[in-house]
């Protein structure tokens, strides 16, 4: 019988895998699930704030209150969905920028 690998998830359940690569893939998937939930919250807040400020700046204040509220909530939800869908891209862009920043700071 071959060797089995186990891993305890953050929710307390234990998962068993046949190879070490499967364990690493499961850990990576759980990491990106947590990161996606953070990006959803951040995208919702940032999208809502930017839409609200844009409406204040570009003259959306004369619209009815229900329309303004609906536009801000719809934009916030849209921003949250887009940020969740682009979680891996945003993460790798951020990691690349930080790595370049560290490298250029250490060189100069």
Sequence-distant (6+) residues with CB within 8 A of 72 are 48, 51, 52, 55
pLDDT digits (tens, 9 = 90+) for 51-63: 999 998 987 788 8
Over residues 92-107, mean pLDDT: 94
* The token pair that represents 65 in the structure block: 């209150």
Compare 65 and 14 and report the one with higher pLDDT: 65
Within 1-108, where are the H helices?
Answer: 20-57, 65-85, 87-107
pLDDT digits (tens, 9 = 90+) for 66-82: 999 999 999 999 999 99
This prediction has a pTM of: 0.74
**Res 108 pLDDT > 80:** no
pLDDT at 10: 77
* Residue 59: DSSP 8-state: T
Residue 80: closest CA among 19, 36, 23, 14: 36
Across 69-100, b (16+ Cβ under 10 Å) vs e yields eebbeebbeebbeebbeebeebeeeeeeeeee
pLDDT digits (tens, 9 = 90+) for 1-53: 567 877 787 778 888 888 888 888 888 888 898 999 999 999 999 999 999 99
């Amino acid at each position: 019988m071959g060797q089995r690998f186990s891993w305890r998830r953050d929710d307390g359940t234990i998962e068993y895998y046949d190879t070490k690569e499967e364990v690493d893939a499961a850990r990576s998937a759980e990491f990106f699930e947590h990161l996606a939930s953070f990006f959803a919250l951040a995208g919702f807040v940032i999208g809502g704030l930017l839409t609200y400020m844009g409406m204040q700046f570009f003259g959306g204040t004369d619209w009815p209150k229900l329309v303004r509220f609906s536009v801000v909530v719809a934009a916030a939800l849209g921003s949250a969905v887009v940020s969740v869908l682009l979680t891996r891209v945003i993460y790798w862009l951020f990691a690349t920028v930080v790595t370049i920043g560290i490298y250029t700071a250490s060189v100069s």
